[in-house]
Amino acid sequence: MPGSQLGDCEESNPVAGAVKAFRCFETGVTCDYQLLTPPDPPAVDIVRLPIVTAPMMIPTEQLLLDDYDAWTGFFSGSVVLPQSVWLATRLGSFDTIACNEPEPTELVHVDSENMNIVENVVGPSCITVLAADPRSPIAFIGASSGPAPMLYRFTGTGTVTQSVPVPLPIPFGPGDQVVSIALGANTQTIALALTTLAMPVEAWVIAFDLDTLAYRSTSPSTESQVRAGAFVGSTMYVTDRRRGRVLSHDVGRPRVVQSLGMTIPRGVSTAAGGAYFDPASEKFWSRRPATRARSGCSIRRAVIAR
Amino acid sequence: MIGAGVPYEREMVPWAISAWPADTDRVAVGMLATVDMNGYLALFSVADQRFSGGSVYLDPGVVRARYADSSGRIFAVMGWSGVLVRVTPR
């Protein structure tokens, strides 16, 4: 292998689709390499719809990807419904997750068939998460962040029909921020994951009645920040940023029950949107920001040109 | 943890994940290329526990969130460029 720094290698059995395979021995570590031809990209049609007219921004912390939060950007919450997409944004504001100013949120309604903006609606301030409303295929729910987060129900035209304050589990001082990280609902319950931005670093999952938005109960604190969540069935899965865990909170019980779930590598899912639970396979998917494997086998680009 | 994989086409970091309705054996991952800071769609094979390769350019910047809708389409919210991208498998 030209320019190889793989140590001593011997051919091994290629997996399906691989041209060659090698097993290499390097400073006491055995690495398996599969050489693959570049696959065809998936055949897709792509439509792009600019939502924000402000020029593109790249966060200054872009080089610190391990610490970068994907929530930085023009959008805060978003939800895809059967025929539409709703996006929450503060036009011109880039870091939309914190709520230092009680500016209204702009809710952008997109027709997902023709990819046109249907309407822009001025919504409550500091909306950071949106989710589908199981009571209607066109309605949605949302929650805000800031010193006094709220839970809202919206019609299919973005009008608020119900709202309740989110009961904060611990008292907060002036200027403290609580961020609504993940929101979901089933046919009985709404689940909201909240986290603090500063000390004390804590997070909770709070349950509300789907129909009345009445408060039901609060989970024990994770005593850590969470940065992503996925609601499946009656369970809110959240990723614990500091300890590298996925915690499951069952909101289908009289009290929200927390169970310590999977341990995952540190640094996994530090970003909003980085968690996904596949109910079909019952697998939880998460992201890890590192670009290289951290075992003894570093990843080299081993792609054969056609 | 069942398994893990890293992309090999270019240096990219994953940011958002959703189902890939066109093939339930794969999940769609929103990637950020660390060299040119462009966003890509990549597919990760559930069975093989690795990225399938053949990533598709979406738009500049990070993929803030991804969703699959009931029609089998994927929507990518591009947080840095302020663009909504719809991906429809042919």
Mind listing the pLDDT tens digit for each residue in A102-116?
778 999 999 999 999
Closest CB from B29, B41, B85 relative to A48: B85
Average the pLDDT over each of A22-26, A73-77, A85-89, A275-279 and give the range with the smallest value. Answer: A275-279
pLDDT of residue A283: 52
Within 13 Å of residue A146, how many CA atoms lie on the same side as its CB?
Answer: 20
pLDDT of residue A298: 44
> Mean pLDDT over residues B51-57, rounded?
86
> Mean pLDDT over residues A144-160, rounded?
94
Closest CB from A39, A43, A289 relative to B53: A39
Between A88 and A243, residue with greater pLDDT: A88
Closest CB from A62, A87, A271 relative to B15: A271
Instruction: Tell me which CATH code domain A66-286 carries.
Output: 2.130.10.10
Q: Does the structure show a pLDDT above 70 at A293?
A: no
Task: Give the domain ranges of chain A.
Answer: 66-286
Return d(Cα B30, Cα A201) in angstroms, integer.
28
pLDDT of residue A213: 97
Q: Kindly list the residues from chain A whose CB atom is less than 8 angstroms away from the CB atom of residue B78.
A: 73
H/E element, A128:
strand A127-132
Give the alpha-carbon dihedral of A242, A220, A232, A118, to 10 degrees.
Answer: -80
Task: Give the domain ranges of chain B.
Answer: 12-87
Comparing alpha-carbon positions, the chain A residue that sits nearest to B1 is A264
Q: Does the structure show a pLDDT above 90 at A272?
A: no
CB distance A227 to A233 below 8 Å? no
pLDDT of residue A270: 36
CA distance A264 to chain B (A): 6
pLDDT of residue A59: 65
The DSSP call for residue A43 is -
Q: Does the structure show a pLDDT above 90 at A200?
A: no
Comparing alpha-carbon positions, the chain B residue that sits nearest to A246 is B1
Q: Kindly list the residues from chain B whose CB atom is less than 8 angstroms away from the CB atom of residue A273.
A: 15-17, 30, 63-66, 77
- CB contact, 8 Å: A141 with chain B? no
Range B12-87: architecture per CATH:
Beta Barrel (2.40)
CA distance B80 to chain A (A): 5
Cβ burial, residue A19 (10 Å; 0-12/13-18/19+): exposed
H/E element, A77:
strand A75-80
Return d(Cα A130, Cα A182) in angstroms, integer.
8
- CB contact, 8 Å: A286 with chain B? yes
pLDDT of residue A179: 87
Across the interface, do A265 and B43 touch by the CB < 8 Å criterion? no
Average the pLDDT over each of A81-85, A114-118, A182-186, B16-20 and give the range with the smallest value. Answer: B16-20
> Mean pLDDT over residues A210-237, rounded?
85
Q: Kindly list the residues from chain A whose CB atom is less than 8 angstroms away from the CB atom of residue B5.
A: none
CB distance B78 to B61 below 8 Å? yes
Closest CB from B24, B54, B66 relative to A42: B54
Q: Does the structure show a pLDDT above 90 at A222?
A: no
pLDDT of residue A241: 63
Return d(Cα A117, Cα A92) in angstroms, integer.
18
